Structure 1
Amino acid sequence: MKQKKYYAVYKGQPPVPAILDDWNLCKEKIHNFPGAQYKSFKTKEAALAYLAMKDGTDPVSFAKKHTELAGGIQLALLEDKEDLIYNRPKETEVDLYVDGSFQEGIDAYGYGCVLVRHGEVIESFSGFGDKKDAVALRNVSGEMLGAVEGLKRVYDLGYHSVSLYFDYQGIESWATGEWKRNNIHTAAYHEYMKKVRRKIQILFVKVQAHSGNKWNEMADVLAKEGVQAAKHGKCQK
């Protein structure tokens, strides 16, 4: 007997988010919808927990907010990560905020990283890259470089779990393979993240750009400083 699947649709034809148990209904949601985000699961609990993760909240709170999606779900299962298909840590040791920047006329892209633990900044730094073909990707290259350099620092400091905050979806979707890698830079980023995720448990958290999140705003300022450092010919920070 074919095993039942649940399709969690985070971005698609409205109304979303949605949990569907029919692939044809799922296809209607995602067909001809640019940037559709969805994933299949063996349990409804795992599907709902995925949507919660994409929404940047915990599964129980998400279930209480979206009661229409939570019918038949045992909230206790949402609190036990062993019952979830994907590896979402309940808590992480440190928060990493990353951002990228680009400015016309400067053949470089900047990045900013802010490491936060228990509500306090423990480190912040910026830098830039100037690979000629990567410059064509503008701030996206900075976003990826920020994630790479930030996670290197997380590993060097001895942390085993991190919440990675970003405002560009590719940071997560290229890392997980949800998005296709259409150039050497996104492909290299994906391969690097595969290796890192074997060593560090990463919780991806999407935040809205310029929405008042002080650590994200701080990373944005640092990324711009990285671009200016490139402009003035300074060494990377």
Structure 2
Amino acid sequence: MSKKVYAVKEGYDFANDRKVENLILSSWSECEKYVKGVKGAKYKSFLTADEAEKYLNQETGISKEKLMLLPDVFYAYVDGSYNDATGKYSYALVIIRNNVIRYIENGSAEDDSERSIRQIAGELKAAIRSLEYCADNRINEIVIFHDYEGVRQHALGTWSRREKSSQKYYQDYNHIINKYDIKVHFMKVESHTGDLYNEMADELAKYAAHIPIKGVTNKNIVNNTIFVNDTTVKDKLMDIISPENSDNIIILEK
């Protein structure tokens, strides 16, 4: 007989005094401690992790098109990169609200301790920095666009966490969303398919890692106008934009 897995959609961690959501657990004893005595707990058992994941997604599944129509919701495009020569990862995030870029951040690792997982470390850091931005700015809902599936799966606990980085990511993610009551939607986008903000995050991550970029963002902006929140955001963008296209970046700051 196959061993069951348990999906906890809503429960409570009494040991750490916090709400828990979207967990997939391998035994009833693990599941029980999050649902026993919890009013309104939502959980089910399944024969496979895939079935459990579908259950967790069925109430929150939403298309990219519908997400983009949500008024006043913040969107974070996250990406990571890796420099083979230095052994260091990099990360970038682009945060948008109402078609205006509100915040950009990129950076690289201080050492090569995460070289075994290459750009994955950057992808995960970018997602966490997006949540920290939400916490700092009292934002309680965000859509995270990512091309690495682990950004979502490691956060929800649906993938095993063998590396220290994925273990820390899972802990940090759940700590932040529960402490600051942040609702997160995950949306996977395919890399290098012309999505303006995904390409932007990709090139900003490469720039931080001192990797040559192909100028995709620069080409996209030639016939388009990008609105940004302030001069700080524009200055960040100019790292990957040619000076002749700077007029296509409009600052809305008053």
Q: Determine if the TM-score, normalized by the shorter chain, exceeds 0.5.
A: yes
Within-5 A mapping of 1:34-183: 38-39=52-53, 41=55, 48-50=58-60, 52-53=61-62, 56=64, 58=66, 93-183=73-163
Whichever structure has more strand as a proportion of its residues is: 2
Any unmatched runs of 5+ in structure 2?
A: 1-45, 212-235, 237-254
Alpha-carbon contact 1:92-1:163 (below 8 Å) kept: no
Percent sequence identity is 24
What is the distance in 2 between the residues matched to 1:212 and 1:38? Answer: 33
What is the distance in 2 between the residues matched to 1:141 and 1:37? Answer: 28
TM-score (norm 1): 0.61
What is the distance in 2 between the residues matched to 1:38 and 1:207? Answer: 23
Q: Does 1:228 align with 2:210?
A: yes
TM-score (norm 2): 0.58
SS of corresponding position for 1:111: strand
- For 1:202, the equivalent position in structure 2 comes to 184
SS of corresponding position for 1:185: helix
Residues 1:47 and 1:168: Cα distance change in structure 2 (over 3 Å): closer
What is the distance in 2 between the residues matched to 1:135 and 1:170? Answer: 17
Residues 1:176 and 1:47: Cα distance change in structure 2 (over 3 Å): closer
Residues 1:91 and 1:135: Cα distance change in structure 2 (over 3 Å): farther
SS of corresponding position for 1:133: coil
- For 1:189, the equivalent position in structure 2 comes to 169
Alpha-carbon contact 1:144-1:171 (below 8 Å) kept: yes
Question: What displacement does 1:96 show?
Answer: 0.7
Matched letter for residue 210 of structure 1: H
- Give the RMSD, CA atoms, in angstroms: 3.0
SS of corresponding position for 1:172: helix
Give the aligned length. 166
Residues 1:47 and 1:109: Cα distance change in structure 2 (over 3 Å): closer
